[in-house]
Structure 1
Amino acid sequence: MKTDAELQQDILDELRWEQSINATRLGVEVKDGVVTLTGHVDKFTDKWNAEEVVQRVSGIKALAIEIEVSLPGTSQRTDGDIASAAQNILDWNTYLPKDRVHVMVEDGWITLTGTVDWEYQKLALKNSLSPLLGVTGVSDQISISPTVSSVTVKDDIESALRRRARFNEHSISVHVDHADVTLSGSVDSWSERELANHAAWGTPGVHSVINNIKVAL
């Protein structure tokens, strides 16, 4: 099991290794395996990238992101401009159901509401809006409309997990209540935990996922 100092060093090394991130503007605090990432970045996508990079490191029990987005003067826009740009993306993207997703912007922060049919639609929308000039954050409050039975959802998730070589049939259990999924069990790294989470979310008809999987240290 890694000490807090070893885990902190591994995270710092991973951040420095990632060319898309300016690691000198970020700080890492670790206590009892719980990691807090601090610092300042110029755009929301940098914050998002830093979070994904840190999750690749094994031994993390929990992760808190306290990075602030400090926009340079040339990147600042009015909320109206950001809302218009976001709406244009909604209008032009054919993967989204028309008139079912709504955008609100306050102080550069985009809040998305409404319903879609698939998790990939939520992810694609967030990926499209996050790089917009002036955006300081994106809150996804979009729900997924259930379209299949609980039994089908459970079978599909378990099949997806079996197809991934990192998991055996006993490492993760899946419980489905209507369209709400709960994952439990144990894996070897935070990235494996997230991989299982993505497998659940990628299943048609899933409305929510509670990830209770523990990372074995």
Structure 2
Amino acid sequence: MLCTTDAQIKEDLIRELGHERLGEIEIEISVERYVVTLTGTVECVTDQLLIQDAAWRTEGVMDVINNLKVKSPASARTDAEIAQSVRQALEWDSLLPETNIRFTVTNGWVALEGTVNLSRERIGAERLVRRLASVRGVYNNIVVNPSEIKAENICDTIGEELKRRAELEAKSIQVLLKDGTVTLSGQVHSWEERCAIINAASRAPGVEAVKDGLAIKPYF
């Protein structure tokens, strides 16, 4: 039996959206019998997917109906202008090895390629580009140098996910990496948190499989 209410789900989703870097949005959220309905307009496909993913992450949600529409900007930038802003953003971010990252822009979609040393650099490049005006979406084909794929890099990926979700339990998660297989152990406080950690680990470059040894221990 679910312990949350429709009103609580809506409140939690609104709070979750506050953690996302979204453009200008005009949306309405309704929740009925644990089903979230999203209506309104967003600036780009990226925002549409971010909002949808946030709804699915909200505890208690059983289904999501995504009726969000992407509006066409009156003065969308050209691919050449987008490319210029992408290059500037990569050069200005001192944490990213911009010389190792290449990209192409097609109809507002940016494809990132190249190699980096850390998983967090791969994630950071995508997040940086997604925030740029007129970028409709990002294909992240950046790979982490195989010689640099380490358990601590996967911990970075998990830590970023928990930090974004306002969770502070990353230190309680142990990560063992062997031959591309990640084994997770430790305690989490909810099924939602467990799923977020497993998904974060599975998205880390170089990871081929994830073995779940996480135990759920509620706060109460």
Q: Report the TM-score range of the alignment, normalised by the length of the smaller protein.
A: 0.5 to 0.7
| Structure 1: runs of 5+ lacking an equivalent | none
Alignment of 1:27-176 (within 5 A): 40-43=41-44, 46-47=47-48, 50-51=51-52, 53-54=54-55, 57-60=58-61, 67-74=68-75, 76-147=76-147, 153=151, 165=169, 176=177
1:193 and 2:191 equivalent? Answer: no
Q: Distance in 1 between matches of 2:2 and 2:196?
A: 20
Is contact 1:37–1:67 with CA below 8 Å preserved after alignment?
A: yes
Shift in Å, 1:111: 1.6
Is contact 1:100–1:115 with CA below 8 Å preserved after alignment?
A: yes
Structure 2 length normalisation: TM-score? 0.61
Is contact 2:10–2:31 with CA below 8 Å preserved after alignment?
A: no
Q: Distance in 1 between matches of 2:81 and 2:43?
A: 19
Q: Once the two structures are aligned, what percentage of the paired residues are identical?
A: 24
Q: Distance in 2 between matches of 1:27 and 1:215?
A: 33
Amino acid at match of 1:193: C
Shift in Å, 1:117: 0.9
Q: Structure 1 stretch 206-215 or stretch 42-51: which is displaced more?
A: 206-215
Alpha-carbon spacing, 1:15–1:57, altered in 2? closer, same or farther (3 Å) = closer
Q: Distance in 1 between matches of 2:30 and 2:127?
A: 25
For these two proteins, the number of residue pairs brought into alignment is 200
SS in 2 for 1:114: strand
Shift in Å, 1:121: 0.8
Is contact 1:166–1:192 with CA below 8 Å preserved after alignment?
A: no
Q: Distance in 1 between matches of 2:12 and 2:52?
A: 11
Q: Distance in 1 between matches of 2:48 and 2:40?
A: 9
Is contact 1:45–1:131 with CA below 8 Å preserved after alignment?
A: no
Structure 1 length normalisation: TM-score? 0.62
SS in 2 for 1:25: strand
- Which one scores higher on RCO, CA 8 angstroms, separation ≥ 6? 1
Q: Distance in 2 between matches of 1:36 and 1:182?
A: 36
Aligned partner of 2:207 in structure 1 is 208
Q: Structure 1 stretch 79-88 or stretch 184-193: which is displaced more?
A: 184-193
Shift in Å, 1:96: 2.4
Is contact 1:118–1:144 with CA below 8 Å preserved after alignment?
A: yes
Q: Structure 1 stretch 85-94 or stretch 108-117: which is displaced more?
A: 85-94
> In the TM superposition, what whole-angstrom CA distance separates every residue of 1:95-120 from its partner, at most 9, and x where no partner exists?
22343211122221112122111121
Aligned partner of 1:12 in structure 2 is 10
Shift in Å, 1:63: 7.6
Shift in Å, 1:137: 1.3
Q: Distance in 2 between matches of 1:36 and 1:207?
A: 36
SS in 1 for 2:99: coil
Alpha-carbon spacing, 1:211–1:35, altered in 2? closer, same or farther (3 Å) = farther
Q: Distance in 2 between matches of 1:112 and 1:139?
A: 6
SS in 1 for 2:83: helix
SS in 2 for 1:73: coil
Computed over aligned residues only, the root mean square deviation of the Cα atoms, in angstroms, reads: 4.8
